[in-house]
Structure 1
Amino acid sequence: MFFLQSAMLWGLFAVSIPIIIHLLNRRRHRTVQWAAMQFLLKATRESRGKKRLRHILILTCRALGIAALIFAAAVPVVSKFFGLGSGKPDLIVLIFDRSASMEANPKNGTIPRRELSLQRLRDAFADLEGTRLVLIDSASGIPQDVPSPDVLAELSATAVTDTKADLPGLLSTAAEFLAETPGRAEIWVASDLQSTNWSANDSRWDSVRASLTSLQQQPRVRVLALGGENADNQTIQILSSRRSGTNLLLDLRIARGGDARSPLNLPVTININGARTTESVTIPGQEMRFIKTIPLPSPDDHGHGWVSIPGDGNPRDNVAFYAYGPARPVKSSVVAAGEAASYLDLAAAPDGFGGQSADTIQGAAAASLVTADQSAILWAEPLPSGPIAAELERFLSEGGQVIFFPPSADSDNSFLDISWSAVGVAERDQFFILDSWDHDDGLLRDGIDGTPVPADRLRAVKRRIPEGEASVLARWDDTQAFLVRRVVGRGTAWFIGSLPDYTWSNLGDADVLLPAVQRAVLAGAERFDSGYLATVGSSVAEVKADEIRERLDDYGSDAKAEPEYLAGIQKLGERTLAINRPASEDIPDVIERSALTGLMEGTDFSLFEDTSSSGRENVSRGIWRGFLIAMLFFLLSEALLCLPGKPVATHTSPRPPVQHAR
């Protein structure tokens, strides 16, 4: 509670007036001892305590009535957001979440959470005349003074974006700002509590709490969460795009919210260079992933477009953008010898896979390997060392893929701190059998349609175990690792524990080797096409010193929004990029209240959840009428106490009857 006319509180000194009058009246009467009066005093001594209590109550009611009148004149305000007992701060640092998820409508509502937040904040700030307001928006993360709360909704720093929010980083920025700004301050956070933006497992939370609690005057932290449940919403993403001859292959993912027990028919619009087509897609469950092939006019042209679904609970996640350049062949290199080299060559460039080629390199010639135009490298020799090892690490960091198979000859070499064990040989008439593998990730994952790779058909009589720190994605039946992964930059190094040689295993069959190798080859080829894809807020999407930003698509945007924070097809100098929102913004999960309380443990923290879906409700209200009612109550009580009591009946001895003479 705080007061809009705090100067009126000086009138509280008037509360002392009834007390002063009472004391002066007591001094007006002199006490004179009179013997006959002692009998009367003795008669009334028993009721003196009750009279004194009534006089005290009368005096108290008079004082409280005057105090209630003064409080009403000072116009007190209680805010549901501020809470009871709060005073007016000197400074408010507003952390405003304007990530893409904030454009979602609450259930049964038509106003996005971002706009709802602005309306609630505007009402709250209207009661804080004279308080300095500093805004830190989630897109720029830069503190800036706001001259008036009335213009908050008109600022570009509160407009729509396609970015994500980094709440630990924003709170750290607020703490750094307050460390240099004296005064009684509060931190307000307007957010939808999306779990990916709060990053509960981020190690920075320890330093955030330490920064806030170590301030000379610890600020209150108030979190405003609006809207309750989300309205029904569907999202679309382009996971990757790849040019294949005169076709563009888009890896699409469509997810749906709400009840997914029945199939959903959804029209999908595809725009390519201004031409649009629409087709219906049936989503059988919670989500669906599929490859969309788009025919292109020429193998040498450039172009761009977008894929969209109809508007729903959040318009920011209904479109995904793509761009492409001239077709280029998919090249791979095979570093192997003997039978293994033949099978690996066939797997890297199978018959009928147009545009794919593979070169086989043996022995010492591997030192001259050129990786600049390669998609993947299949290596079945002793692990590389020296200059070629450095070249492969650079290749991996740029998005290339390397699959290492065990060499026939023993070697002590290691690569990325991973080495091969000695050759293990199965017992007579026994095999090493692949027992378990990751069906959702890695080279042996299930197909887009859910069809599993028949990895259980693999039989091996010889193997080497990849040893070192790596993620295991498949194991033999004795729990030893068969397939492990090490991520290096944008690329991946894979280690497979047997050779495609029939003296080792039946890995040369197409059941396992072909899908595994092709997935690595296509993932490596995406490093060329990925040059056309970027994420809003990433370093790739930033304008360089000699570049000018220009938007090319016609999907539409908010006039107030800054273009660097929006998704779309943008031309940055000579570069053409399809810039999309971060995939994390499509995850609807919110942080648990207990987890949020744990993150803010030790700070003066409070959470205000407003489940209203409209902008009509105010977050603060005046309570001066309540003080006027209290004043009337005290004055009426004083009047009742001043009423004279009932007369006390006196009892006398009956007179004897008068005898009349006859």
Structure 2
Amino acid sequence: MLWGLLAAAIPIIIHLLNRRRHKTVMWAAMQFLLKATRESRGKKRLRHILILTCRALGIAALATAAARPLLSNVLGWGSGKPDLVVLLLDRSASMEATPKNGSVPRRELALERVKSAMADLDGTRLVLIDSASGEPQDVPSPDVLTSISSTAPTDTSADVSLLASRAAEFLTETPGRAEVWIASDMQATSWQPRNDRWTSVRAAFSSLAEQPKLRVISLGGDASPNQAIRLLSSRRAGAQLVLDVEITRNDDSAAPVNLPLTATLNGVRSTSNVTLAGQNFRFRKTLPIPANEDSGYGWLSIPGDGNLRDNAAFFAYGPARPVKSLLVAPPGEATDYLALASAPGGHHGQSVERLDPAQISRLDTEGVAAIFWAAPLPIGQVAESLVRFVTEGGQVAFFPPQADSDAEFAGMKWSPVTQSEEGKFFIIDSWDHDDGLLRDGLDGTPVPADRLKAVKRRLPEGEGTTLARWDDGRPFLSRRVFDRGTAWFFSSLPDYTWSNLADADVLLPVSQRLVVEGAQRFDTGYLAIVGNRSAQPRPGESRSRLDDYGSPVPSNEAYEAGIHQFGERIMALNRPAAEDDLEILENNTAQGLFEGLDATFFEDRSTSSRANGSQPLWQAFLVAMLCFLLAEAILCLPKKSNPSGSPLPGRPTNA
């Protein structure tokens, strides 16, 4: 239909033909009229040019509207037909969100756009690199994009910089004119704009013999109302399963929402209601474990909404086991309080063993959840054993020793003792309410750390991160992270000659959180994140899906959350927490990632797979045609006659 653009030359041809029909004849009497109109000749010529331009553009706009340009066609405009298109497809869980007022997930919308675009590039090779597998594969026809397992929904996360790097590697070995199309919802956690890999990505594309054109299909924008459920932790406590759960929603409404929460445990379902008053709600769900069922699995689910991939959280558990802690400290008041806080009466299965620091030559941490250390920092083989313990997921709380010591552990050491002024105290001034051992409870209740007062302290010095400070800004609680575990450093002792840390309102919740987090290293054998190495079968193991939630796809089960069996092991796989982060990458930031490259961004806000996103484009050409014809009609209107009968300028009057 674009051949119709040639019709725009018709008004120009008619104009040229009309000029040839007139023959110039010199007539003496015309000199007065010529003189009178000479001044307006320039205006007439400009008027005629505008009329001719409006006619030509009106016909051109009509021809373009008749061709019905598509949004997908825009992907290739100005570049010609490429030999190869490399599609980088974001298959993360967030891509299953539907746009506001829509019913089709963004992943499906992206595939429809690509299919529509490839239909106009007949003969162009299509290679898919999806975010789940990360491996390039040829797509025999764009028509199968929506039916192959490599484009199916997943519960994984995405790393766009890694996909771009894979595309550059592929193009290094594949000569020809290529384009790289990136289909993404622009979630900031998927793009990771601060990742150093982007520098190498730009360098890799720039070094190619024929630099490809980059087309980013942005499917961001407002999403449909949605609630997401996530499992924060899962542990067995005797005959009960304790689940820490978080439910979030993406709308700004302050109105409470009542959600039915369905708990499925070993095939038995129960339903209760939870009220979501704000944007997120954290709570603890306790499920009784049936007698004679040492192992099992299940999931918590909420009704389907704007994203069907975030409505369930899976868990699994094994046989009950005692929770053991070690207390390394000399006899004394602080030791007694630490022993009581680490294994208080009424806490099923908790025990603590005290070790004298002077008698430790070897530290046995088998089956230990947490270690409370109120002695000089360990050195030698003991320190090495402690590092292994923490690296494997254990928790250690260091309290200052009574005597001075120059020992260091993991880049941390104790300062000399400082005492407060007579009649004054060191008081906790600020602490992190969202992270660490002093964080607020699931119901938002804060730990009353501001009640803590001290007259004596040793400050932790070194590479730790400070999570709580005294009123003079010096650290009270510092943290050093080791892979899966953590070492904590407190700057005062639960001894009333040092502080009132022995009061149960601070020491008890801190100690129990330490023990619980340390014990989770035994329960993490039943939990993993989809896409992580721990969510893969070990050599010789096969994979099978045990649950029936969400109509699992066997060919895609490696990338789906659920209850998976690896040989004799049962694991609950859940989507990454980053997929619940709603932050969208800003346009300027995204464009800066491709600085120096030929990159174009296309924002697709359509809500239907049937909508090709181009309807406003051809409608705009129709509106433009009407505007051109209206302007032409206005310019063709005759001049108003002179009602006063006064002589025209330049015309002589009769005597």
The TM-score, its normalising length taken from structure 1, stands at 0.83
1:211 aligned partner: 204
Question: In the alignment, does 2:556 pair up with 1:562?
Answer: yes
* Distance in 2, Cα, partners of 1:299 & 1:244: 15
Q: 1:300 to 1:334 in 2, by over 3 A?
A: farther
1:654 aligned partner: none
Please tell me whether the aligned partners of residues 107 and 227 of structure 1 are also in contact (alpha carbons under 8 angstroms): no
> Quick one: which amino acid aligns to residue 201 of structure 1?
R
Question: In the alignment, does 2:172 pair up with 1:152?
Answer: no
* Distance in 2, Cα, partners of 1:105 & 1:447: 33
Deviations 1:418-452 (A, max 9, x none): 00011112222222221111111111111112221
1:418 aligned partner: 412
The alpha-carbon deviation at position 219 of structure 1 amounts to 1.1
Deviations 1:456-475 (A, max 9, x none): 22221211010001110111
Question: In the alignment, does 2:612 pair up with 1:618?
Answer: yes
Q: 1:4 to 1:371 in 2, by over 3 A?
A: farther
Q: 1:89 to 1:385 in 2, by over 3 A?
A: same
Deviations 1:606-634 (A, max 9, x none): 111121101222256999xx9xxx9xx9x
2:529 aligned partner: 535
* Distance in 2, Cα, partners of 1:292 & 1:543: 30
Question: In the alignment, does 2:321 pair up with 1:305?
Answer: no
Please tell me whether the aligned partners of residues 270 and 307 of structure 1 are also in contact (alpha carbons under 8 angstroms): yes
1:489 aligned partner: 483
Query: Which of 173, 178, 181 is equivalent to 2:166?
Result: 173
| Residue aligned with 1:178, SS | helix
Query: Cα RMSD between the aligned structures?
Result: 3.6
Tell which deviates more after alignment, 358-367 or 90-99.
358-367
Please tell me whether the aligned partners of residues 363 and 386 of structure 2 are also in contact (alpha carbons under 8 angstroms): no
1:126 aligned partner: 119
Question: In the alignment, does 2:567 pair up with 1:573?
Answer: yes
Q: 1:373 to 1:440 in 2, by over 3 A?
A: same
> Quick one: which amino acid aligns to residue 588 of structure 2?
S
Question: In the alignment, does 2:585 pair up with 1:582?
Answer: no
* Distance in 2, Cα, partners of 1:388 & 1:4: 80
The alpha-carbon deviation at position 363 of structure 1 amounts to 2.2
* Distance in 2, Cα, partners of 1:593 & 1:560: 38
Query: Which of 348, 368, 388 is equivalent to 2:342?
Result: 348
* Distance in 1, Cα, partners of 2:261 & 2:506: 34
| Residue aligned with 1:338, SS | coil
Q: 1:229 to 1:561 in 2, by over 3 A?
A: farther
Question: In the alignment, does 2:467 pair up with 1:464?
Answer: no
The alpha-carbon deviation at position 365 of structure 1 amounts to 2.6
Alignment size in residue pairs? 597
The alpha-carbon deviation at position 341 of structure 1 amounts to 1.1
The alpha-carbon deviation at position 152 of structure 1 amounts to 1.3
Output aligned runs, 1:130-279, within 5 Å: 130-226=123-219, 228-279=221-272
* Distance in 2, Cα, partners of 1:533 & 1:201: 29
Please tell me whether the aligned partners of residues 552 and 560 of structure 2 are also in contact (alpha carbons under 8 angstroms): no
* Distance in 1, Cα, partners of 2:125 & 2:462: 56
Deviations 1:293-347 (A, max 9, x none): 1001137610000000001000100001000000111100100113211111001
Please tell me whether the aligned partners of residues 105 and 227 of structure 1 are also in contact (alpha carbons under 8 angstroms): no
The alpha-carbon deviation at position 544 of structure 1 amounts to 2.0
2:369 aligned partner: 375
Please tell me whether the aligned partners of residues 4 and 127 of structure 1 are also in contact (alpha carbons under 8 angstroms): no
1:101 aligned partner: 94
Please tell me whether the aligned partners of residues 78 and 84 of structure 1 are also in contact (alpha carbons under 8 angstroms): no
Q: 1:79 to 1:503 in 2, by over 3 A?
A: closer
Please tell me whether the aligned partners of residues 542 and 567 of structure 2 are also in contact (alpha carbons under 8 angstroms): yes
| Residue aligned with 1:368, SS | coil
* Distance in 2, Cα, partners of 1:299 & 1:416: 44
Deviations 1:264-286 (A, max 9, x none): 11000000000000001111111
Query: Which of 296, 301, 315 is equivalent to 1:322?
Result: 315
> Quick one: which amino acid aligns to residue 143 of structure 2?
D
Query: Which of 275, 279, 282 is equivalent to 2:275?
Result: 282
The alpha-carbon deviation at position 565 of structure 1 amounts to 0.4
> Quick one: which amino acid aligns to residue 287 of structure 1?
N
The alpha-carbon deviation at position 159 of structure 1 amounts to 0.7
Q: 1:379 to 1:106 in 2, by over 3 A?
A: same
Output aligned runs, 1:425-574, within 5 Å: 425-559=419-553, 561-574=555-568
* Distance in 2, Cα, partners of 1:409 & 1:121: 70
> Quick one: which amino acid aligns to residue 367 of structure 1?
S
1:385 aligned partner: 379
Please tell me whether the aligned partners of residues 126 and 149 of structure 1 are also in contact (alpha carbons under 8 angstroms): yes
Query: Which of 332, 342, 358 is equivalent to 1:364?
Result: 358
Q: 1:558 to 1:326 in 2, by over 3 A?
A: closer
Q: 1:504 to 1:79 in 2, by over 3 A?
A: closer
| Residue aligned with 1:577, SS | strand
Q: 1:227 to 1:252 in 2, by over 3 A?
A: same
2:641 aligned partner: none
Please tell me whether the aligned partners of residues 236 and 319 of structure 1 are also in contact (alpha carbons under 8 angstroms): yes
| Residue aligned with 2:505, SS | coil
Please tell me whether the aligned partners of residues 240 and 287 of structure 2 are also in contact (alpha carbons under 8 angstroms): yes
The structure with more radius of gyration: 1
Deviations 1:61-101 (A, max 9, x none): 9xx9xxx9xx99xx996655326423111111000111111
| Residue aligned with 1:571, SS | strand
2:107 aligned partner: 114
> Quick one: which amino acid aligns to residue 471 of structure 2?
D
| Residue aligned with 1:87, SS | coil
* Distance in 2, Cα, partners of 1:261 & 1:95: 38
Output aligned runs, 1:586-601, within 5 Å: 586-601=580-595
Please tell me whether the aligned partners of residues 245 and 299 of structure 1 are also in contact (alpha carbons under 8 angstroms): no
Please tell me whether the aligned partners of residues 70 and 612 of structure 2 are also in contact (alpha carbons under 8 angstroms): no
Please tell me whether the aligned partners of residues 188 and 224 of structure 1 are also in contact (alpha carbons under 8 angstroms): yes
1:652 aligned partner: none
Deviations 1:488-526 (A, max 9, x none): 011000000011122222211212211111111100011
Output aligned runs, 1:34-53, within 5 Å: none
Tell which deviates more after alignment, 351-360 or 485-494.
351-360
* Distance in 1, Cα, partners of 2:554 & 2:565: 20
2:652 aligned partner: none
Please tell me whether the aligned partners of residues 475 and 482 of structure 1 are also in contact (alpha carbons under 8 angstroms): yes
Q: What residue ranges of structure 1 are gaps of 5+ in the alignment?
A: 6-10, 12-17, 19-38, 41-45, 634-662
| Residue aligned with 1:511, SS | helix
| Residue aligned with 1:279, SS | strand
> Quick one: which amino acid aligns to residue 374 of structure 2?
A
Q: 1:578 to 1:558 in 2, by over 3 A?
A: closer
- Indicate the percent of aligned positions where both proteins have the same amino acid: 58
2:642 aligned partner: none
Deviations 1:207-228 (A, max 9, x none): 1122122222111111112363
The TM-score, its normalising length taken from structure 2, stands at 0.84
The alpha-carbon deviation at position 196 of structure 1 amounts to 0.9
The alpha-carbon deviation at position 555 of structure 1 amounts to 1.0
The alpha-carbon deviation at position 145 of structure 1 amounts to 0.9
